[in-house]
Amino acid sequence: MNGNGSRTPDPRGLLGLSPVLPVVVLDDADAAVATARALLAGGVGVMEVTLRTPAALEAITRIRLEVPDIVVGAGTVTRPDHADRAAHAGATFLVTPGQTDTLLDAAVATGLPVLPGVATVSEALRAAERGLDTLKFFPAEASGGPAALSAFAGPLPDLRFCPTGGITPANAARYLALPNVDCVGGSWLTPADAIAARDLGRIETLAREATTPAA
């Protein structure tokens, strides 16, 4: 898809758009625009639509066209063909939960910012060798949580992370306090039942709570 509807920041810029990158599962493309608008109303200007549902690509296209003020990307990019399909649908960035050479080749070839998933120092080094220095730490809680990521900062001071997987309002601040973290990712802003019921007020409130610093 060609279009100028959304800004396309570089990966570092992406992490700076919001303290929380919502990971959004959309079963119904008809819910996409309303969900995006609710996040935006709550102060969240970026969202990752996971390629886990048949509706995901159409959802990305609709958001890109109808909610140009939110930066929409594709997540759960797990196969090389996902990368191109997401780019054509209008995704402005790609997030992978892990990495293979073919997957990263395809993702980088789109020209879009890519956040590759890593869980270990070795995986982070592999990504960095390709010039990918802004990474998704996944699954964050299961991979050692803030303690692990804090330890990464010693040998890998130039890498930045968006920890995702098991992040909640209760533990997000512990990640955000780390020097190598600019944002966390999480699905809690867009609960499946709230999307299904079009409970946009709840999504907006969750977004606002996630973006409002604690008093």
| Contacts to ligand 3PG by CB under 6 A | 23, 50, 75-76, 97, 138, 164-167, 185-187
CB of 178 to ligand 3PG, least distance (A): 18
Is 209 annotated as catalytic? no
Phi, psi of 132 (to 5 degrees): -95, 105
CB of 121 to ligand 3PG, least distance (A): 20
Q: Using the minimum distance from each CB to ligand 3PG, give the nearer residue, 61 or 187.
A: 187
Is 136 annotated as catalytic? yes
What's the rounded Cα separation, in Å, for the pair 25 and 169?
19
Q: Which of 136, 141, 204, 209 is catalytic?
A: 136
Residue with CB nearest ligand 3PG?
Answer: 187
- B/e letters for 152-164, b = 16+ CB within 10 Å, e = fewer, are bbeebeebbbbbb
CB of 186 to ligand 3PG, least distance (A): 4
CB of 166 to ligand 3PG, least distance (A): 5
* Burial tier of 28 (Cβ tally within 10 Å: 0-12, 13-18, 19+): middle
Q: Using the minimum distance from each CB to ligand 3PG, give the nearer residue, 90 or 97.
A: 97
Tokens, residue 107:
């993702």
Q: Using the minimum distance from each CB to ligand 3PG, give the nearer residue, 11 or 165.
A: 165
From residue 87, alpha-carbon distances to 76, 140, 142, 145, 215 in Å are 13, 26, 30, 31, 40
Point out the residues that are catalytic: 48, 136
